[in-house]
Structure 1
Amino acid sequence: MMVGLGGGRCRCSLALALLISAGSVFLFCEFAIYYPAVLRCSWPEMREDGDRGTGSGSPAAVRALFLSDTHLLGAIRGHWFDKLRREWQMERAFQTAMWLLRPELVFILGDIFDEGKWSSPENWEDDVRRFKQIFRHPSDTELVVLIGNHDIGFHHEMTRYKLERFEKVFNVTSARILTKRGVNFLLVNSVALHGDHCPICQSVENELHSLSQALNCSVQSFQSESKKHRCRDMQRYASTPPILLQHYPLYRVSDAECTGEDAAPPNERYQLFHERYDVLSQDASKMLLWWFQPRLILSGHTHSACEVFHENRIPEISVPSFNWRNRNNPSFILGSFSQSDYALSKCFLPEESSVIAVYCGSAMLLALITLGHLSLFRGALHVTNILLGKQKSL
């Protein structure tokens, strides 16, 4: 009876130790792992040129966080476990970033949902509810959402109903300028820049043209009375070139020039892009560059990172997907902006392969420990039985 009691205690201790170890691994992979990843990130510093926004009398730099292509799965193509896993990962990563980095602005550059173009009213409401849970944020952080093709459909799928449904929920329009302490952010619905004069496209182009005139009136100093008269009734913005934000990248042939660990894989990098599907058309791209002369462009859609330069050396940064379903190594961009300068840095999140490796390695280790303890226990029990047998024979 004493041997049985001791064996039972040994087994209970082993089970408790295994349970604690497994729980610790789970807590690390699902909670703690995001903290060291985000703690490696920091807000970029702008050049020491006397206009960083930290000097006396000058406004503080605007701190903005950029992510893209969250692709929350819908009711049609989304498996329940895939939904649970990906949305949990995005929620923990985003909430950790909010707590540690405290950005003033958060921009999500389109494709918020995976099935917005198909969603029934009931499914749409459920998707929106989950989005607001995942990307909840402090009251002093402003979350700004842009329109992507999966939110309202590609051009041929886009309808007024789906566009207005998205605009109403997220309080956005297809073309507007958001100004924060003298920094202009130009927000564009690039899905509507198809250039075929469809009613939605024409309306967005008209809005953009009006914004370009107003921005030009704000930037330029006028030498003639006629120019002053033309700009007299227009809304004024900060007199700085804008940061252009949209879902589609401006036209480029391919991702062949893209480099870095989160660029497109080599087998995809040289595939030619289709205008109006992978990137904006050449005409729409030239129109935006000519009308606004942005100092920086940030876009999404390709799910991979890239940095290219357009005419007049205007840089464009493609922001990778924030969803582990699309990438093994999601990331987001941190930006510091003043009226005359900006600086960017990238923040990488834990790799999916690393998380899987920790789980698999821990499972193997716990299995080996269990087998080792069981072998020792059986050996000890066998020796005890032999000794007891000898004792009885004596």
Structure 2
Amino acid sequence: MAWRPVMGLILIFALVIYEEWVSIPSCKLVPTSSTDLELDLDHPDDLKVMLVANLLLLGSESPFFNSNFRDYYLSKFFRKSFESLKPDMLLVLGDVSAKGSELTRSKWVSVLHQFHGLLGPFIGLPYHVILGDRDIGECSELNVRSVNWMASNFPGLDSAGCGAFEISNISFVSLNAVALLCGNNNLRFGVEKVVERESVDLQIETEGAAEVMNKASKLRETEHNFGWKENSISSGSGPVLLLHFPLYQTVDSNCSGFNAFKRTLKHSRESSNMLGSRRLVETGPYKLSQTLPRNATEYIFQALKPRIVFSAHTHEFCDQLHSDGTREVSVPAMTWNARDDPGFVVATFHRNRRAVSVSYCSLARESHVIIAYVSFVVLFLSTIPLLRYLRIL
């Protein structure tokens, strides 16, 4: 029986090692036909961005299991991802809160504290957060003052919940996609003003100020008439676009042309069938299949000519090309509150300012971690004599 105390110590040590190992993400480069990926992926001038979505935090309302297990591992996921990938920036594509639109400001503050606690080493990096439907609610509940207050708590967001910034010569624009679903309201007008402003700036940068002076003048004259504006800039010349809702699917919604990589993610598709059994995601302000309307999508394409689009909301990873050649990547949920196999995306913007490589990073399945813990407990219980041994010492 002398081996049992030693076995107990070995199990404790093994559990610590397992917790560290299981928190490390597994990342795979998404295949693409682009020859841009033949470039050196590790050049020091490249910009590496980690994109996460749908954290679904509960703040002070977190049940015991969430706060002592799921949130604990989510924090480890952030820390290990930072250590292993060494990103230059973090982007959060909405749904920071599981039910933020229902919370009072004091409860929202607890969600913000939880969010900042999860960031860990990321707190020293540039980061940008956009608002999702769970954060600000559906159209009938959309409140300008509440959105303004929420936006003021995240860096770089204006009063409409939009943002524009540049890092390492890469331009980013984030839009409040929820407002774009909601007809004629002040928030939507604010979003469209941002789109028009960025469109004019893009044309000035590309064509020169003299050639777009007339367009800018017309824009001022029709400030409240958000009609179609002519934009002759080629597709892909604009900023990186960040949204919570995906754009309207102008091609096969099942990620056409992406079957080879989808097979490696088959378990992700299968586990998505579990969503209906999750209390936090079985219902919500919008269906998981919700996308921006066709007219809003065409408007964005025409005005911004985005270089690449990153969206979220669906909880699943997807990579597809739209009809004009614009690439859209949907970022999966990074929480066990949404799915058994969470994940995130890493985008590398290469030094030639055109190529973008995308990696899908998977995290540990909750079911596997729970099975591992149960196994450790069962094995440890067989070493109960360890306690007597320690008392003797």
TM beyond 0.5: yes
Matched position secondary structure for 2:344: strand
Matched position secondary structure for 2:139: coil
**C-alpha separation between the residues in 1 aligned to 2:196 and 2:182?**
14
Equivalent position of 1:252 in the other structure: 249
Listed as ranges, the matches of 1:1-394 within 5 Å are 14=4, 16-17=5-6, 19-35=8-24, 37=25, 47-48=37-38, 54=43, 60-75=45-60, 78-138=62-122, 141-171=125-155, 172-173=157-158, 174-194=161-181, 196-221=183-208, 225=210, 227-228=212-213, 240-252=237-249, 255-257=253-255, 259=262, 260-261=265-266, 263-265=268-270, 278-338=290-350, 339-367=353-381
Output the amino acid matched with 2:369: V
Output the amino acid matched with 1:100: S
**C-alpha separation between the residues in 2 aligned to 1:227 and 1:257?**
37
**C-alpha separation between the residues in 2 aligned to 1:93 and 1:250?**
28
- Structure 1 gaps, min length 5: 1-9, 374-394
- Greater RCO structure (CA 8 Å; 6+ sep): 2
Asked if 2 retains the 8 angstrom alpha-carbon contact of 1:189 and 1:247, the reply is: yes
Output the amino acid matched with 1:128: L
Asked if 1 retains the 8 angstrom alpha-carbon contact of 2:242 and 2:311, the reply is: yes
Shift of 1:217: 1.8
Output the amino acid matched with 2:37: R
**C-alpha separation between the residues in 2 aligned to 1:42 and 1:48?**
12
- Structure 1 residues 42 and 97 mapped into 2: Cα distance closer, same or farther (>3 Å)? farther
- Structure 1 residues 138 and 198 mapped into 2: Cα distance closer, same or farther (>3 Å)? closer
- Structure 1 residues 349 and 142 mapped into 2: Cα distance closer, same or farther (>3 Å)? same
Asked if 2 retains the 8 angstrom alpha-carbon contact of 1:29 and 1:355, the reply is: no
Asked if 2 retains the 8 angstrom alpha-carbon contact of 1:307 and 1:317, the reply is: yes
Greater alpha carbon shift after TM alignment, 154-163 vs 362-371: 362-371
Shift of 1:148: 0.5
- Structure 1 residues 337 and 98 mapped into 2: Cα distance closer, same or farther (>3 Å)? same
Matched position secondary structure for 1:350: coil
- Structure 1 residues 113 and 126 mapped into 2: Cα distance closer, same or farther (>3 Å)? same
Shift of 1:65: 0.7
Shift of 1:277: 7.2
Matched position secondary structure for 1:322: coil
Output the amino acid matched with 1:62: L
- Structure 1 residues 41 and 88 mapped into 2: Cα distance closer, same or farther (>3 Å)? farther
Shift of 1:53: 9.7
Shift of 1:102: 2.0
**C-alpha separation between the residues in 1 aligned to 2:181 and 2:193?**
13
- Structure 2 gaps, min length 5: 220-235, 257-261, 275-285, 387-393
**C-alpha separation between the residues in 2 aligned to 1:42 and 1:100?**
15
Q: Deviations over 1:325-369 (max 9, x none)?
A: 212221111111132111111121122222122223333444566
Output the amino acid matched with 2:55: T
Matched position secondary structure for 1:190: coil
Equivalent position of 1:377 in the other structure: none
| Overall identity of the aligned pairs, in % | 20
Shift of 1:266: 8.9
* Count of residue correspondences: 343
Query: TM-score, normalising length from structure 2?
Result: 0.76
Matched position secondary structure for 2:187: helix
Q: Deviations over 1:154-184 (max 9, x none)?
A: 2222212221121111132223322122211
**C-alpha separation between the residues in 2 aligned to 1:267 and 1:82?**
20
- Structure 1 residues 179 and 85 mapped into 2: Cα distance closer, same or farther (>3 Å)? same
**C-alpha separation between the residues in 1 aligned to 2:335 and 2:45?**
32
**C-alpha separation between the residues in 1 aligned to 2:60 and 2:72?**
17
- Structure 1 residues 199 and 230 mapped into 2: Cα distance closer, same or farther (>3 Å)? closer
**C-alpha separation between the residues in 1 aligned to 2:118 and 2:167?**
25
- Structure 1 residues 364 and 341 mapped into 2: Cα distance closer, same or farther (>3 Å)? same
Shift of 1:288: 1.0
Shift of 1:221: 4.9
Output the amino acid matched with 1:23: I
Output the amino acid matched with 1:130: Q
**C-alpha separation between the residues in 2 aligned to 1:323 and 1:267?**
13
Q: Deviations over 1:40-89 (max 9, x none)?
A: 67899953469x895xxxx811111111100002455x422223322111
- Structure 1 residues 275 and 43 mapped into 2: Cα distance closer, same or farther (>3 Å)? closer
Matched position secondary structure for 2:102: coil
Q: Deviations over 1:117-172 (max 9, x none)?
A: 01112211111111111113356511111110111112222212221121111132
Structural RMSD (CA):
3.5
- Structure 1 residues 351 and 53 mapped into 2: Cα distance closer, same or farther (>3 Å)? closer
**C-alpha separation between the residues in 2 aligned to 1:230 and 1:265?**
49
